[in-house]
Amino acid sequence: MYRKITVAGGGVLGSQIAFQAAYSGFDVTIWLRSEGSIGRTQPKLDELRDTYRETIEQMATPEGKSPDIWARGLADPETFDKEACLEKVEKAYSGLKLELDLAKAVEDADLVIESMAELENEKKEFYTKMAPLLPEKTVIATNSSTLLPSTFAKYTGRPSKYLSLHFANHIWKQNLAEVMAQDETDPKYFAEVFEFAAQIGMIPVAVNKEKSGYLLNSLLVPFLLCGMDLVANGVSDPDSVDKAWKLGTGAPRGPFEIIDVVGITTAYNIIQQYQKVPGLISPLLKKMMMPYNFKGISAMLKKYIDEGKLGRTSGEGFYKYSEDQRV
């Protein structure tokens, strides 16, 4: 069905989406704005090549099928062939194309995946510029995690062929793909993108109606808020909250362990959005579940940020880490 894929943007997720699609056998081009963007994207691709290789080598060890090691997006445990997977990595790396000319980048594209910064005006400008350059067949998907596709549908010039395809970070391991329609999306193209997600090693889930936060974050954000609220109000401490959740449910991580992975700065920014947007929380929900102590949560997170404790990436957040492992 789809053969040629164009990814607009070479950031963290854009580079991952492109590499994963190439690893899965698709012809992939990354469109970038400038030579400087190439200089920032190429090292990401170099690192992904190394990460994929190292992961596959680990998957081939006796303990490789454990959940901590196995990357679901790279191979099926029943048919895993280390050498074949390593060959796919090299083919993906050598086959990826970086292009500055937008017309050349989208020429003959079956699917364009927009993975640019979460800036509304820049996305509108991009879609407006791209619309007249696209072949009639091209479907467009946005990887936006915070902006709804209906905001941009008319700027694409093909609302019926426009929808969301949202990936989680570490796409090769956390292989979730949320496929979300907007009101004008033709079910035919929803089904095609859903199938494409499966073809690149993802487990697609359907979001049939627009929802800020999709499925994952609609569940995750309130969960994290509840955990932080318990600590900000002095009810308990991070370790106890995490233990309560893990021991009581069998989950592998508690809210504060998750926040350390996501990043404390990201959590702080989410809190700021909740505080700044009037009417974001409905009166009914406020009566049932609120108020969260946003002021206290914000102050708690800001203290960690000011101390340079940003989570796993900095070596310390709510917990300390050595080589990305909690100590």
Q: Which fold has domain 217-316?
A: N-(1-d-carboxylethyl)-l-norvaline Dehydrogenase; domain 2 (1.10.1040)
Tell me the H-state helices in 96-151.
Answer: 102-106, 120-130
Domain assignments of the chain as residue spans, ordered by start? 4-207, 217-316
Closest CA to 134 of 115, 111, 154, 163: 111
pLDDT of residue 275: 66
| Residue 67 DSSP label | T
Residue 181: CB atoms within 10 A of its CB come to 21
Per-residue pLDDT reduced to its tens digit, 256-305? 999 998 889 988 988 887 665 544 444 544 554 457 898 999 999 999 99
pLDDT of residue 2: 97
What does pTM read for this prediction?
A: 0.84
SS3 (DSSP) at 200: coil
Estimate to the nearest angstrom the gap between the alpha carbon of 111 and the chain centroid: 18
Give the Cα-Cα-Cα angle 130, 135, 137 (nearest 5 degrees): 120
pLDDT of residue 290: 57
The pairing of strands 27-31 and 4-8 is parallel
CATH superfamily of 4-207: NAD(P)-binding Rossmann-like Domain (3.40.50.720)
Task: Give the DSSP per-residue string, 11-54.
Answer: SHHHHHHHHHHHHTT-EEEEE-SSHHHHHHHHHHHHHHHHHHHH
Based on the number of CB atoms within 10 Å of its own CB, is 313 exposed (0-12), middle (13-18) or buried (19 or more)?
middle
pLDDT of residue 326: 85
Strand partners, 111: 5, 139
Residue 263: CB atoms within 10 A of its CB come to 18
- What residue ranges of the chain have pLDDT lower than 70? 274-290, 324
Q: Which helix (H) or strand (E) holds 306?
A: helix 294-306
